[in-house]
């Protein structure tokens, strides 16, 4: 995951390096990014993106002109057509402002709010597929937690990924916020069944997936129904995960396909047309505090 813009800006200001914050103020029609997308431009580099292409190149040029001239603010109203050599067809308002301590504080608050609003993905199991999936999900706007019940040192995880060792792995499912995704890949079929049962009991889960095969799914369905599980909940249950497009069983391939499933279910429009920057669950900070109960730290 790339460094937050606020962190980059903080270092730039501390070094006395001028910077311009570039933000999409309004986006109409077909545009490469939505309102609120931002990037930070210094003389030497540009961080983040407002959509790439000629739109971004032009904004970077204007930002550096502002740095050289000492200009405080600029506003650009740009049609994304022949004028910029982009075929999107929409129109964007680009706001450029010389960054200072005030804009740093505002940017830090906004990024903190966005981090707090990220949907949760809980991965149960830290085997080969689990770790490959974590590396894939670490690049995306999710709050990812790996849950494992085995003793030993925590596995190597990308920055920003939480790890908890749970005495009762079902408890994090109960504590997770609404709209969470549950991915079950443990070392035990029996534990997988228990966790899938607990996740399917929640009507507000965005995604419930379990590693396995068609045979494992059939056996789980019989077990689930025999325990009184609702048949309609199985319609939203994905098992095996990441198997629709190929029979390739390499961990990285399964992880890539499972990531696509999770993105579609959690961030896709069919699950509620959620506005950019918001979701249906609670904030990550609140959820994290609740998740910490009944769990002993690794």
Contacts of residue 284, Cβ cutoff 8 Å, sequence gap at least 6? 115, 116, 117, 118, 120, 143
Average pLDDT over residues 2-10: 90
Average pLDDT over residues 161-167: 90
In angstroms, rounded to a whole number, what is the distance separating the alpha carbons of residues 149 and 140?
25
- The reported pLDDT for the residue numbered 86 is 63
pLDDT(133) > 70: yes
DSSP labels, 236-297: GEE-STT-SS-----HHHHHHHHHHHHHHHHHSGGGT-PPTT--SS--HHHHHHHHTTT-B-
Nearest to 242, CA basis, from 221, 220, 264? 264
- The reported pLDDT for the residue numbered 282 is 34
pLDDT(293) > 60: no
The 8-class DSSP code of residue 214 comes to H
- The reported pLDDT for the residue numbered 60 is 97
In angstroms, rounded to a whole number, what is the distance separating the alpha carbons of residues 253 and 255?
5
Tell whether pTM > 0.85.
no
pLDDT(56) > 90: yes
Are the C-beta atoms of 48 and 5 separated by less than 8 Å? yes
Q: Which domains does the chain have, with CATH numbers?
A: 5-115 (no CATH), 118-291 (3.40.50.720)
Question: Higher-confidence residue: 233 or 293?
Answer: 233
Are the C-beta atoms of 249 and 242 separated by less than 8 Å? no
Average pLDDT over residues 156-182: 92
- The reported pLDDT for the residue numbered 153 is 80
pLDDT(182) > 90: yes
Q: Where are the beta strands (DSSP E) in the chain?
A: 19-28, 38-42, 46-48, 73-79, 91-98, 120-124, 143-148, 162-165, 181-184, 207-210, 237-238
pLDDT(107) > 80: yes
Q: Among 26-40, 75-89, 261-275, name the most confident range.
A: 26-40
Are the C-beta atoms of 219 and 161 separated by less than 8 Å? no
pLDDT band at 179; cut points 50, 70, 90? very high
Mean pLDDT of the chain: 86
- The reported pLDDT for the residue numbered 85 is 63
In angstroms, rounded to a whole number, what is the distance separating the alpha carbons of residues 281 and 162?
18
pLDDT in tens, 75-92: 999 888 666 666 667 889
Average pLDDT over residues 198-204: 94
Q: Is the peptide bond before 240 cis (omega within 30 degrees of 0)?
A: yes
pLDDT band at 277; cut points 50, 70, 90? very low
Question: In 113-123, which positions are buried (b, 16+ CB within 10 angstroms) versus exposed (e)?
Answer: ebeebbbbbbb
Quote the Cα angle for 141-263-46, to 5°: 40
pLDDT in tens, 207-217: 999 999 999 99
pLDDT band at 288; cut points 50, 70, 90? very low
- The reported pLDDT for the residue numbered 151 is 77
Kind of pairing between the strands at 46-48 and 237-238: unpaired
Question: Higher-confidence residue: 287 or 144?
Answer: 144
β partners of residue 22: 39, 96
Average pLDDT over residues 152-165: 89
Are the C-beta atoms of 21 and 38 separated by less than 8 Å? yes
pLDDT(42) > 70: yes
CA atoms within 13 A on the CB side of 267: 17
Question: Higher-confidence residue: 117 or 283?
Answer: 117
Above pLDDT 70, what percent of the chain?
Answer: 86
- The reported pLDDT for the residue numbered 29 is 87
pLDDT band at 279; cut points 50, 70, 90? very low
Question: Backbone phi, then psi, for 15, in 5-degree steps?
Answer: -90, 0
How many helices (H) and strands (E) the chain has is answered by 9, 11
């Amino acid at each position: 995951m790339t460094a937050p813009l606020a962190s980059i800006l903080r270092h730039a200001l501390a070094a006395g390096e001028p910077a311009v914050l570039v933000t999409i103020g309004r986006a109409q029609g077909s545009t490469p990014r939505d309102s609120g997308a931002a990037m930070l431009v210094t003389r030497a580099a540009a961080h983040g993106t407002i959509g790439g292409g000629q739109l971004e190149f032009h904004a970077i040029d204007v930002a550096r002109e502002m740095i050289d001239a000492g200009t405080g603010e600029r506003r650009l109203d740009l049609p994304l057509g022949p004028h910029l050599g982009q075929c999107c067809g929409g129109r964007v308002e680009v706001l450029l402002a010389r960054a200072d301590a005030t804009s740093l504080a505002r940017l830090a608050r906004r990024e903190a709010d966005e981090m707090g609003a990220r949907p949760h993905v809980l991965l149960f199991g830290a085997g080969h597929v689990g770790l490959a999936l974590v590396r894939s999900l670490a690049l995306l706007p999710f709050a990812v937690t790996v849950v494992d019940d085995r003793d030993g040192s925590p596995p190597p995880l990308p920055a920003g990924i939480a790890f908890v060792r749970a005495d009762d792995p079902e408890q994090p499912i109960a504590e997770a916020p609404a709209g969470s995704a549950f991915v079950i890949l443990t070392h035990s079929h029996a534990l997988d069944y228990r966790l899938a049962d607990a996740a399917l009991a929640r009507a507000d889960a965005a995604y419930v997936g379990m590693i396995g095969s068609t045979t494992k799914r059939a056996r789980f369905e019989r077990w689930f129904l025999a325990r009184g599980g609702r048949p309609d909940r199985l319609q939203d249950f994905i098992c095996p995960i990441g198997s629709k497009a190929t029979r390739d069983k390499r961990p990285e391939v399964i992880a890539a396909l499972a990531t696509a499933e999770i993105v579609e279910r959690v961030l896709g429009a069919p699950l509620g047309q959620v506005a950019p920057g918001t979701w249906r669950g609670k904030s990550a900070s609140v959820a994290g505090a609740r998740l910490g109960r009944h769990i002993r730290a690794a």
